[in-house]
Amino acid sequence: MSFIRKPFNYSYKNYAIGLIAVNIIVFVIISIFKRFGNYYVELYLALLPEYTIKLKWLWQVFTYQFLHGGIWHLFFNMLALFFFGIPLEKRMGSKEFLLFYLLCGTLCGVIACGLYYYLFLYTSTRVIVIGASGAIFALLFAFAVLYPDAKIYIWGILPMPAPLLILIYAAIELYSAFFVSDNTAHAVHLAGLVVAWLYVRIRYGIKPLKVWFNRR
């Protein structure tokens, strides 16, 4: 099992831009279907825990991350993928970056499926989970680990250390998952942070908290 702890050999192919292109293309195609009254394609690809488990539509834990609920949902996720994905890919290498992104997004789907279906986190099992947000939160976490000295500018003007921002996001999402009732999949965001932590810990042998708090 040593291969699990051995990242791919480094190469750079700019896969982050490719992922952005795929998300945009999928959004356009789904929008065209919906424009003509066909919502079945979206339901087929989105993560519906009830269908994923009862109907064995297992692909949904993967495909949901390429769907978005609207232009702004897509825009902000792709903006984050651009600004954080490109430097991460340059640090990790393209193959490792692609594995990280897709695996984290898929594991977020698996976790969301279990939470929403088996634990009834919300009032109904017929929730629909779409979007790259789980994978994006994983990217943010990995960025804060691999670039611990980086500053992220909130609203473009307020500099904040990347690790501090991640801790704040984690606290907000944890609170929101239990006490905020909205259409945001906060559990998926939290899952993104957790699976990213596991990834860098297992794959790279990095202890995130040690990186953040034991630096000189």
154: left (phi over 0), alpha (psi -120 to 50) or beta: beta
118-175 pLDDT, tens digit per residue, is 776 555 557 889 999 999 999 999 999 999 988 888 877 888 888 898 899 889 888 8
Is residue 16 over pLDDT 80? yes
Q: Provide mean pLDDT across the span 68-80.
A: 95
Instruction: Indicate the pLDDT class of residue 3, thresholds 50, 70 and 90.
Output: low
Domains and CATH numbers, the chain: 7-214 (1.20.1540.10)
Helices (H), strands (E): how many in the chain? 11, 2
Give the span between the Cα atoms of 85 and 81, in whole angstroms: 5
pTM to 2 decimals?
0.90
- What is the DSSP code string of 23-86? HHHHHHHHHHHHHTT--HHHHHHSB-HHHHHHS--TTHHHHGGG--SSHHHHHHHHHHIIIIIH
The pLDDT of residue 124: 52
Q: Provide mean pLDDT across the span 22-47.
A: 94
The pLDDT of residue 54: 86
Three-state SS for 159?
strand
